[in-house]
Every structure is written in C-alpha cells, then in structure tokens.
Structure 1
Amino acid sequence: MESIQQRFERLQNAMNAIVSHDPEHSFTELIDDKRALFKGFKMIYSTNHLDGNFAKSSLKSIEDECPVLKKYFYGNGLLFFSDELYDKTWIHGEIKIPLDYSLSLDSNAAERFRAWEDGKDLDKSIHDFEKLVRFIKDGEGNGFNFDYSFFLIENYFDSMKENNHRPFNTIRALKRFDHLNYDMNNFDVTKPIFYEDRAVAGQRAIETLHAFHSSPEILKFQERRMLLYIVLLKAVILRQNIKTTLAEKISELVLFCLNDLGKFPKTELYFAWKLLKYGKQLRFFDPVSQISKKTLKKIKGMSWDIFALRYQETLASKGDFGEFFIPFFASFDNRFVELAQACPIRAVLLDEKGKNVITIQLDELEFQTELNTSIEPEVHKMLLDTELKLKRMNTNLSNDTLVELALSLEFELEAYC
C-alpha cells in the first residue's frame, strides 16, 4: 500500500521525468518507459508535435479563430494522459476524449462587456469583441463555458466599496449576456438585444457578489495572490543590489521564503527567478526596470497578471464535465501575451487522489538547475525531505500576516525611490 509520502515522492519523480524529457522528443517516449511512474496520475502536455495516437487537441486553431483568446500552454497543441486513456489507446488506436473548455476574463475584457451592454462605442476593439462574443456562443461546436470568477477575485475589495459601482455594473452586464438574443446568421454586435432586463440581472449580480464576499475560498485566492506579490517585491528589492550575483540573490530569496513565509513556493520563485535573470530582456518586466514612486503600483499590477496565469492552473485541475479541463483567457491587453511568452507552460501534472497539481514550465530544467546550484547543501537537504515538504504545503498564512510582511517590504523598497 502506497503511503501519502511515497505517492508524493512518485509525483515529484514524475515531474522530474517530464522536466528532463527533451520537448523535441515524442510524448510516447516519455510515457512508455515510465508507465508505473505515472500510474494514477493525469497529465496535460503541451507540444508543437502532435505525435502518435494519444488523445489531442489543437490550440492554434482556437487562437486563429479568436485572437482575443490567450492560451495557457506554450505549444500549438495538447496531448493527454491517464491510465484509462492509455489503455484504450493501445486497444483501439487513436481515441477521442470529452474536453471541457473554460474561458476566463481579465478586467479589461470584462469591462468591455459592461461598456457594450451600456450602449457605448467600443471603437477599434469592436471587431475583436464580436469575434469573442461569437466564439463564446459558437466556439468548438457548442460554445465555451464562460467564467468571470477571476474578475470577481481581482475586484474583490473594490466591489465592497459603497461608492464603487463599476464591479456591480460589470457583473450585471455579464449576467445579461447569459440571456443575449443571439443568432449566428443575424447577430449585429452594435445592436445587442437581451431577453433579461437590468433589474432582474441586477438582482442576480447582487446574489453573486454576496456569495463571493462570503466565500472562504475567495479569501484563499486573495492570500495566494498576496504571497505572489510578496515574493515579487522581495525579488525587485534584491535586484537593486548590483554587487551580488544571481546565485546569491536566488539563495537569499529561498531563505526568505523558508524563514519568513514558512513555505517553498516553487511557482512564485520561478517568476521571481525569471525577473532576476531575464528582466532586462523580457517586455513583461519593463514596468519594474527602474524604481520610482509608481513601482509599487506596477508590481501589484504585475502580480495580478501572473496570478491570472496561476488561476488557470486552478481551472486546469478541474474536470467537471470531461476528463480534462482546458483553460483559456480573454484579454485585450498584450501584457498577458508577453507574460505567456516570457513564462511558457509545458505541462500540468495532476494527482486527483493526493489533491496535488504541479505546473511545469518549458524552461523548468534551467530554473531547477540554477536553483539547486544557488542554495546551500543544508538547505537543499531540507527541501528534499518529503515530510517537511508536506508540512510546508499545509502551512497557511493569514491575510493579516501577509499584509504586515508586504508593508515591511514596501517600506524597504521605498528607500530606492
């Protein structure tokens, strides 16, 4: 009988197998020799080579049809693995699987629905907006699941302010969109007609906002975003010290996470490493290239952009209507494109039984190599201890603790302004 620790170790070893597998080599080579290692796990694997008989999906065709959609994964297509799929593939050859697509909106996309529902002119973005509307209604045969929970998470605190009606008006517009009078052949995007009036949609919007405001899960998302913000803040501060090497900065950042946060947030550390090593080369990090009084606001905005990517990880771990859940993001802002290009995602490894999800970046091997060579041997030993890993994963930091730590780092950063 496999223990919790043993299963978690096997999941880590499966991740390492993916990391060390050359992206140019076939998916079959990855799975065939390590069948026992992946037993009981599921995987969504991104590639530019849709090889073999494995169940697959084209991402490129979806993006070509609707340019506003931003894919979560780096490659042109996806391959899928589970025990059941693997066995069926061997018996029947190429098979099809039920895929559940989900579309999330960032704030600028969500607020275009508000402006459109209010009769305002969308000007140059109207054609792309029409493609988005049509794709939601018609895409991939039956339309896309339409998810605006990220907008609610991002506007969680603003929506509680008495005089800020923008979040409510946006949700009301999105509720009315559920009841759009839509016909593929006769639809005129400049003259939308809704079956539901504003009063009824407004009541539904109030109910939705109330549910989100009282949801413990939404608070957890706020805390996860705050953790990401703190790690980015610390990385920006470390970046100002031109006398220390990249390895020294990474080592200090890891110790900060372990000592001050009691966690080893691998994904957050990945984004911080990307900033520290490639910040001058990647457009996404331009807003923090020089420190000014506006830097804190820019880091907060950047943390929300990255958290949008992390939220897609949460969606990818679901499978309510199919075996696999494929997230897309709708944005009229190029920052998300720049982020996806800067931090390409190669695979998502899921252990539903152990309730663990691991995101694997395309340059994960480079990141892990530099991480391992930067930290001291005793720290490395501590990170490899499975029992300590599980303990860190279960460490929960209160929002008050995170806010206090963020304020301390903000004060430290202001010294560079």
Structure 2
Amino acid sequence: MDQLLYYLSKAKNPLDVLEAWNFKDSTFNNTSAIVCLENYKNNFFSEEFIKTVYFEDNDFISYFQSEKLYFINDEIIKSIFFTGNVDIPIDYSIMFDSNYASYISFFVNNDMSRLNNEAFTTISLLLNENFQYDYRFYLLENSKNIDLNKEFDIDYFKKVHNDIFRNITNLELFKSIDSKLFKDKILLKYTITTEEAENNAEELINDIYCSELGRTYLKEMSFMRKEMTLFLIGVFKIHFSSKKDAKKKIVELFDYMDKKVGIYFEREALVAYKYFKQQSEIKIFSKLQRNMNTSNLLSIINNISWDFTAPRFMEYFMRYEKEGKFFIPFLLTHDLGLKEVIKLFNVKGVISDESYGFIPISSINTKEYYENKNCKINFEVYFSKEKQKDREIRMNKNREEIDTIITEECNELITILNSH
C-alpha cells in the first residue's frame, strides 16, 4: 500500500497512474482510486461549473485540489483494454452547511429578500447542473445541539428541533425542482408535494437522530471532533509555551499525538508545522493570542476543531457508494475558516479498498517533507506495530475520559496564554 500511495501522489498523467497501479498486490480487494493529474483533462464537469467552483471566489468548495480527476479500478482498466472506452458512473454530491440550508429554505419559501446576489447565483447554478444532494453534513453539524444520550421519537424531535425538520423538508422540495423547466423558462415546479417532502424528511431524521444505529454513528463523529479539539489544544500549548524553532516543536507535537491524543493526524500536523514556522500563515489560528480573553477559549477551539474535522467527515461519507461508483463531494459554505482548512489540506486523491478502508492521497510525502526540513522524527519507530498499538490503547482510554482530558489540557493552555 505504501508504494501505491507514494507513486499515485507523484502521478502527473494517466500513464503514471497505470504504472502506479502495478503496485496494487493480491491483498487488495475491490480497489478504486480518484487522482488529480496536472496533465489531464476530463469532460465530467461543465465549463461553467469548472469556472465557478475552481476559478472564482465563491462559496463552493471542492474536496479535491483540482477538476482534473482521473478514475481507476480494475473494471475500468479491463473495459479500456477490451473496448477502448469506458462509462464511469459518478455521483456529484453537494453538501450544505447550516447557512446554506437556510438560504435554500428562503428560496423555497419565496423569501428572496433574505438572499444576497451571491447566494441566489449559487442556487441558480445548482438548478442548472445535474447534482445529487447530501444532507448528512448538515445533520452532523447540527448534532452538536442535540443530546445524543437521550432517546426520542420523531414527534419529540419535530417539537424541539422544528427548524432542522423544516430545513430538511425544504431541501427535499428543492431537490425535486424540475431543472429542465427552470433552465428553459426560469420557472419553479416541484415534482413532489409538501407532504411527500415531510415524509422523506421524517424518514431521514428517524435514521440519523432517532435510531440507536444513527446515534451510535453521531457519537463516533462527536468523539472524532473532540480528539481533534485535544490535538489543537496540544498545538497551541506547544506553540505558546516556548520560543523553540518549528523543527523542535513538531517533534513535541508528534509526542503529544502519541501520548495524549492516540491518533496520528498527518495533514493537520503539516498545517501545525507551517504555523510553528510562521504564525501568520494560518489565519484560522489567529483567534488565539497571548493575554487574550480566555473566558470562551474552549468554544473558540471547538469551532476551529469543527473546521478541521469537516474534511474527515466528508471522507467518511465518501466510503459508501451512492448513486454512482465514484463519489465526488462539494460543499457549500460561507465559513472562511472551513474554506481555508480544505484548501490547506490540498487533497490530490483517494483510494478506497475493502481490505484497507478509505485513504486520502496527499501531494506531499510527509516523511520526505520533514526530512527535507531537518526535523528529527524517527518514522520507523513512530509507525512500528508497538507504537501503533500504544496509540490505539491511548485512543480507547480517551473514549472514556475525553471531556475531562480536554478540560485539563485547556486549563493548562489558559495558564500558558496568561503567562508573560
């Protein structure tokens, strides 16, 4: 797997991908990959969409670093070899954050006065493209305001969280709009009734919020976010506690991930290194300064944590096939911090495999990167079976006491920030 990942991260054209695919051995099972290539152009996106999403400053965020996506699995290779062409089923899914879910509700309710020109233009583009819509990001974002340890039915949910129910209902109506009629005559026609939209919303909410399986899933996502919060507290503790250079601070962060977090956050650590090197380079971290008002410090870090965890949630959703075999997520958000984080991650591609799971591909080989920066990290020891087992034990302990650990670590950070 390491060789396959390495050569895919270096691929610039389809031939490079095919050569890298030779390193897929017999232990792989039903493997697929999506890779961004410098020297390649596909016809999966319209010119208008490419211009809007990748070259204009707006509220669309692509999970991938570019529109030049190349798709590969064994079936595609066989089809190209025997027929010379291939039909690749793709699901272009748009995810919404809470703000855009509200904008679409305004649109559906004909409350256009509450939509700015940018939001209206974006919604018009949605109606002109053949997208699927994914509400899980919105539902996950709003799970922060729901007691996941409490059992409740749909009637209770609608009473207490009617805003979420109404937004999902309106999203269902929006999804049903006759796009051809809108394209041709700019007329809105819903192909389902409000009652049908409400039934669909109830079914989705039942699955996610009201079922034991759904709450288990949300609790796991909540734990991941809290682990990210713990990681970020570690980043800030290390940054503000000394004037050591970035090379020494990143070694401390690796030790912190090992002994406190129990998870190796690879891409996030690269962002932290850039922060250690030049504080002003990571704008989202500028909210934390020495001698700041720390009364709402944990709330600030939790908000940053959500932005850092969001791409991992998108990856979690990508593990499961939807309408097509390849899932390409886009996110609509006005959150500047979230936009910055996804751009910082700069994802080149992904590999999906039944045996190995879901693995993002970075353009940067982290081992080479840190070695070139003369960072003294012993990767052989850090990724030994013994160390990986230790991190797993640490992570499982955190499941039982994560809130207490975060409070203790945050209090230590407050002391550091208030010291002269």
For the 8 Å contact 2:169–2:198, the answer to whether it is kept is: no
Counterpart Cα distance in 1 of 2:48 and 2:91: 16
Deviation at 1:390, TM superposition (A): 6.7
Tell me what 1:50 maps to: 40
In structure 1, runs of 5+ residues without a counterpart are 1-10
SS of residue paired to 1:237: helix
Tell me what 1:384 maps to: 383
Deviation at 1:14, TM superposition (A): 1.8
Q: How many residues align?
A: 393
For the 8 Å contact 2:247–2:374, the answer to whether it is kept is: yes
For 1:337, the aligned partner's letter is K
For the 8 Å contact 2:90–2:324, the answer to whether it is kept is: yes
Tell me what 1:109 maps to: 100
Deviation at 1:326, TM superposition (A): 0.8
Cα deviation digits, residues 67-111 of structure 1 (max 9, x gap): 532111112321112122223223333433111122111222123
Tell me what 1:157 maps to: 144
Counterpart Cα distance in 2 of 1:389 and 1:193: 52
Is 1:171 the counterpart of 2:162? The answer is no
Tell me what 1:308 maps to: 310
Counterpart Cα distance in 1 of 2:164 and 2:202: 13
| Change in CA separation of 1:18 and 1:167 when aligned onto 2, cut-off 3 Å | farther
For the 8 Å contact 1:63–1:70, the answer to whether it is kept is: no
Tell me what 2:357 maps to: 356
2:6 to 8, 11, 16: 16
1:195 to 187, 193, 196: 193
Counterpart Cα distance in 1 of 2:352 and 2:372: 23
Which structure is higher in helix share?
Answer: 2
For the 8 Å contact 2:8–2:16, the answer to whether it is kept is: no
Cα deviation digits, residues 184-209 of structure 1 (max 9, x gap): 145567x9998215976775576353
For the 8 Å contact 2:137–2:314, the answer to whether it is kept is: no
For the 8 Å contact 1:305–1:336, the answer to whether it is kept is: yes
Residue identity over aligned pairs, in percent, reads: 17
Tell me what 1:7 maps to: none
For 1:350, the aligned partner's letter is S
Deviation at 1:130, TM superposition (A): 3.6
Tell me what 2:19 maps to: 32
| Change in CA separation of 1:194 and 1:177 when aligned onto 2, cut-off 3 Å | farther
For 1:196, the aligned partner's letter is T
2:299 to 297, 306, 313: 297
Deviation at 1:238, TM superposition (A): 1.0
| Change in CA separation of 1:97 and 1:302 when aligned onto 2, cut-off 3 Å | same
Counterpart Cα distance in 2 of 1:274 and 1:267: 11
The two structures have a TM-score, normalised by structure 2, of 0.79
For the 8 Å contact 2:172–2:200, the answer to whether it is kept is: no
For 1:64, the aligned partner's letter is K
**Higher alpha-carbon deviation: 291-300 or 384-393:** 384-393
Tell me what 1:244 maps to: 244
Deviation at 1:413, TM superposition (A): 1.5
SS of residue paired to 2:263: coil
| Change in CA separation of 1:122 and 1:288 when aligned onto 2, cut-off 3 Å | farther
Is 1:71 the counterpart of 2:62? The answer is yes
Tell me what 1:276 maps to: 276
For the 8 Å contact 2:348–2:362, the answer to whether it is kept is: yes
Counterpart Cα distance in 2 of 1:279 and 1:255: 21
For the 8 Å contact 2:60–2:330, the answer to whether it is kept is: yes
Tell me what 1:327 maps to: 329
The two structures have a TM-score, normalised by structure 1, of 0.79
SS of residue paired to 1:178: helix
For the 8 Å contact 2:37–2:69, the answer to whether it is kept is: yes
For 1:106, the aligned partner's letter is D
For 2:383, the aligned partner's letter is L
Counterpart Cα distance in 1 of 2:81 and 2:402: 50
| Change in CA separation of 1:365 and 1:163 when aligned onto 2, cut-off 3 Å | closer
Counterpart Cα distance in 2 of 1:71 and 1:60: 15
Counterpart Cα distance in 1 of 2:253 and 2:112: 47
In structure 2, runs of 5+ residues without a counterpart are 149-155
